[in-house]
Structure 1
């Protein structure tokens, strides 16, 4: 931050190419199949069909709107549909070997487009690249390529929802992925919506998805902890993004409880619970709260006031605010108002950490460079100190909704 302005890095933004613009990033052998796929593809997402869809790929518009909103840098998660996918890429595996090969090609096309998109705004975008989990060797090769290509946002970890046919995330199958990320300093990001099983299209199914989606995303935390990924790779970083943050203290308490209970039970052979804790202490290493404190972070998208009150229990150095641009549930164009709602009255140093300092450390942004930009466009210290009265009437982010600041999973 500067003397009078905060340096804001959004730890949760989304981008992607327009559909046909992915073709140049595909290997030539996939061009004919891409033409066939693109000619019949129907985009299922209204926001990607609207006249504002170019926010995903129009670099100049994006920079201007983020600056207007007080934001000088962003962590860029995917948003548009990569080639050969029926919808978002965070989904259960394709059923055939040919479709797997095409979808890998589609994700590589996105990653290569993203590298160029980030290069168009040097020092201001940390691109989050994509992989599939069905072929670990291919995933490792893509991680190494993305690291060399400068995609500093790290890896987007797909989920393994029930019915996917993939090993669970605690499986040692994925250890080469964790090892490579730890070796290269690549953050592992797990975003909400990436791990839910398909539920159908009935009204009840959509409601159940909203209730359950963050819980399914949280599962990556205890899978990697109990699976021992952090014991084997102590420098591995896990970031949980757009899943809320108010749940973290309670879940850590729960995980600590089960860890202590099962480790203790393992020493009492012959008891009913001894088998559940057998080998756990040796395989996972440190307890869950310690692992969280040493290895984990939260992308706290449109953070709510009740979550801010838990920052010391979550870890002030863990919290990274995000605007979720350009999504409707994001805070644009009212990010300053959202920040006032959440942070008014807090110490300046704490606000600065949650708005940019933590994200700079995790994703490798140069704060001195970003401070020079924030000196012109960042929200003022005095402005964020002023509590928000009535929220903007046309704001669409749930942070402003009645009851939106009460409780979130």
Structure 2
């Protein structure tokens, strides 16, 4: 893969590209929420001749020009700095947003939400060999990587392509790249996650099966598809896709914001409010999926919520039990849960991911169970714990002596290895 950021002879790399010292490894860690930035050469050799020149491509943005972001529902963005880049596809621009790839920066003071360039990113953002080196620095055994803006996190961009055949060709090419390059070069270190065709669940199911046949164990899916104009999750519309995931053991991974952020007033600090409300958006998504009936109609389906934390989960469990006790006679709970208490459905069918929940980790383990919690690092975003995931986990587990070794094993790697059927090293820690 092309190394886009290199130092000339005698030239020092920028500060953010220098390697930190490797952290001491206390635990075998599988991070189930990281991100990749699709490299500009990812579609080379994967573009059918009949679509020549129509696949996504990287373009240089002109300083002083304002670019539309209508496809994302965001206001136009003025570019002030030379060298900025974006993906150009199907008449729209998809910006390499600056805050999307900041691993290794020593200071965030100069960052903005302007689009960035590959030269300003740590190579581990887009180069799998460099990513594995960064994982080694941080003491991370394996990683699950969500797509970036050009896919819409879960394939929504390709599924809305004006030419259906083109959109499906790009979607399949993205999955082929994931299989051959990102996962294929380091199969024990990368959990293969795919995207699929959202506009037709039968086509989407076929892609899930195609990927599962070659080892994919995860699917990035919009957490609230009705917000993208698709039927809601409780609709039978999605039955072929959910059935394919259940039958192939493909976990449904719902990343916060994959179907947009919460509806907020246009004024005020939108970035700050949106990131603050990630747990609220995950709560909303969990409730939607819980009452959709999907967990009980597809009992072998694993539903994984990413980047919303776990602090709100004990509250939701309490609320569900309270509702059942006080309002159970007012609603046909059995219609949606097949007679199982809703809090049990949540415990039995959902998995939740912790980035850092110091006040509620022990409570979540007590109320939910250690077998439903996984660890995430969120490389290379601003809130990533890299490269200090290992010392942070050691601190948090030390602050919670009620968590025994079995619970720590489950949270750090055991649950993820089971859900995603991913191999562990010969001697996992602890």
Common topology (TM > 0.5): yes
Shift of 1:304: 2.4
Give the root-mean-square deviation of aligned CA atoms: 2.9
Separation in structure 2 between the aligned mates of residue 284 and residue 349 of structure 1, nearest angstrom: 30
Match in the other structure for 1:140: 205
Q: For residues 33-72 of structure 1, what are the structure 2 equivalents within 5 Å?
A: 33-34=54-55, 41=93, 43-46=95-98, 47=101, 49=117, 50-72=119-141
Match in the other structure for 1:402: none
Number of corresponding residues = 351
Unmatched 5+ stretches in structure 1: 83-87, 266-276, 382-409
Work out whether residues 138 and 390 of structure 2, in 8 Å CA contact, stay in contact via their aligned partners in 1.
yes
Secondary structure of the residue aligned to 1:195 is: coil
Match in the other structure for 1:270: none
Secondary structure of the residue aligned to 1:6 is: coil
Work out whether residues 92 and 161 of structure 1, in 8 Å CA contact, stay in contact via their aligned partners in 2.
no
Q: For residues 1-80 of structure 1, what are the structure 2 equivalents within 5 Å?
A: 5-34=26-55, 41=93, 43-46=95-98, 47=101, 49=117, 50-79=119-148
The TM-score normalised by the length of structure 1 is 0.76
Q: What do the CA deviations read for 1:334-385 (whole angstroms, capped 9, x no partner)? A: 1222112311144333222211111111111223xx144x6xxx7xx6xxxx
- For 1:305, which of 355, 358, 361 is the aligned residue? 358
Separation in structure 2 between the aligned mates of residue 229 and residue 303 of structure 1, nearest angstrom: 29
Separation in structure 2 between the aligned mates of residue 76 and residue 185 of structure 1, nearest angstrom: 18
> Are 1:196 and 2:295 matched, yes or no?
no
> Are 1:350 and 2:404 matched, yes or no?
no
Q: What do the CA deviations read for 1:68-93 (whole angstroms, capped 9, x no partner)? A: 211111122223634xxxxx345877
Secondary structure of the residue aligned to 1:34 is: coil
Secondary structure of the residue aligned to 1:298 is: strand
More displaced 10-residue stretch of structure 1: 338-347 or 135-144: 338-347
Match in the other structure for 1:246: 311
> Are 1:175 and 2:235 matched, yes or no?
no
Q: For residues 2-401 of structure 1, what are the structure 2 equivalents within 5 Å?
A: 5-34=26-55, 41=93, 43-46=95-98, 47=101, 49=117, 50-79=119-148, 81-82=150-151, 88-90=152-154, 98=162, 101-116=165-180, 117-152=182-217, 154-160=218-224, 164-197=228-261, 202-259=267-324, 263-265=328-330, 277-278=331-332, 280-285=333-338, 286-300=340-354, 302-310=355-363, 311-344=365-398, 345=401, 346-367=403-424, 370-372=425-427
Separation in structure 2 between the aligned mates of residue 73 and residue 125 of structure 1, nearest angstrom: 5
Match in the other structure for 1:400: none
Separation in structure 2 between the aligned mates of residue 42 and residue 232 of structure 1, nearest angstrom: 37
Work out whether residues 301 and 349 of structure 2, in 8 Å CA contact, stay in contact via their aligned partners in 1.
yes
Work out whether residues 31 and 376 of structure 2, in 8 Å CA contact, stay in contact via their aligned partners in 1.
yes
The TM-score normalised by the length of structure 2 is 0.73
Separation in structure 2 between the aligned mates of residue 90 and residue 202 of structure 1, nearest angstrom: 28
Q: What do the CA deviations read for 1:286-324 (whole angstroms, capped 9, x no partner)? A: 222111222111122x22221322212121111111111
Separation in structure 1 between the aligned mates of residue 57 and residue 381 of structure 2, nearest angstrom: 29
